[in-house]
Amino acid sequence: MVFCFTVPGPKPLTVRVLPHTLNPMAAAAAAAPALSLAEAAPVTAVLAPGPTPSRTFRRRSSVAASRRPALKCHHSRPLTAVAAAAAAAAAAGDSKSAGVFHGECFVVGDNIDTDQIIPAEHLTLVPSKPDEYRKLGSFAFVGLPTAAYPTPFVAPGEETTRYAVIIGGANFGCGSSREHAPVALGAAGARAVVAEGYARIFFRNSVATGEVYPLELADTGAWKECKTGDVVTVELDNCVMINHTSGKQYKLKPIGDAGPVIEAGGIFAYARKTGMIASKSA
């Protein structure tokens, strides 16, 4: 049996996928009746324009939200009184569903490419396998030059990071199309990336996999003013990032229609949740 997916556009494209190439999540989605263009529009509109996701996306990069690791809290240094108070206030809302992400931030600059996020030699790892998913997280950002970034995103010997939020400059996620890039960040425990701008393919893959929120700054200069280790809170509903260490606030652009897709756990989970394809129990 071959499953066919129709992607709308000026020239509609039909993608043929063999069942054995799909992970369980994708297979459940594929088993449902084919979507019409009208039915698929609400989902594909979030990701368009851009190229059709690759077969390896369906095979390797669609990971259930329940497999994401809980963010580890490391206390190698004491929090300031302001940060400690902010942590207590945000403790109840430190989850994706609450729309509030709180913790330390990891700061990078402009033009962070996908090879720096997850080098090509680690792309053989299959995220749909729990052990390999965790291992993928341990390699997040290992491609960054140590001279410029002496603090590792994931400490040696660990599989998850202490940093809940990544702050970047312009053109974050540029370079090769690599679905493993947002998956690696999510597997490490990151909740959101806050950057001045994104490469389109990284933004699309972040939404499609549901691993991290790719949030765009309305203000510029955050990555120059924030420092790795600063304690921040990101509030989706209020479109703001608060740096409790410096006391500064930064406006964010609304995530829009991509928000519900990410919150659901990715494109297939969203389609099942909204009844566009059959649920696993159907």
Helix (H, G, I), strand (E, B) or coil at 95: strand
pTM of the model: 0.69
- pLDDT tens digits for range 108-152: 999 999 999 999 999 999 999 999 999 999 999 999 999 999 999
Percent of the chain with pLDDT over 70: 65
Q: Helix H segments across 100-199?
A: 114-117, 130-138, 180-188
Confidence band of 278 (pLDDT split at 50, 70, 90)? confident
pLDDT reported for residue 221 = 84
pLDDT tens digits along 182-208 = 999 999 999 999 999 999 999 999 999
Q: Tell me the β-bridge partners of 3.
A: 17
SS3 234: strand
Q: Which residue carries 């960040």 as its tokens?
A: 185
Number of helical (H) and strand (E) elements in the chain, helices listed first: 11, 9
Strand partners, 125: none
Cα 134 vs. chain centroid, distance in angstroms? 15
**pLDDT tens digits for 245-274?**
999 999 999 999 999 999 999 999 999 999
Token output for 67: 């497999």
Whole-number percent of the chain with pLDDT over 90: 60
Please give the pLDDT value at position 67.
Answer: 52
Which strands sit side by side in the sheet containing 192-195, from one edge to the other? 213-216, 192-195, 163-168, 100-107, 231-235, 240-243, 248-251
pLDDT digits (tens, 9 = 90+) for 91-116: 434 444 468 999 999 999 999 999 99
**Predicted confidence band of residue 8 (pLDDT cuts 50, 70, 90):** very low
List C-alpha distances in Å: 31 to 3, 18, 37, 178: 8, 11, 18, 26
Architecture of domain 66-264: Alpha-Beta Barrel (3.20)
Q: How far apart are CA 119 and CA 122, in angstroms?
A: 6
Strand ranges (E), the chain: 3-7, 13-17, 100-107, 163-168, 192-195, 213-216, 231-235, 240-243, 248-251
End-to-end CA distance of the chain: 20
Range(s) for CATH 3.20.19.10 in the chain?
66-264
More confidently predicted of 35 and 168: 168
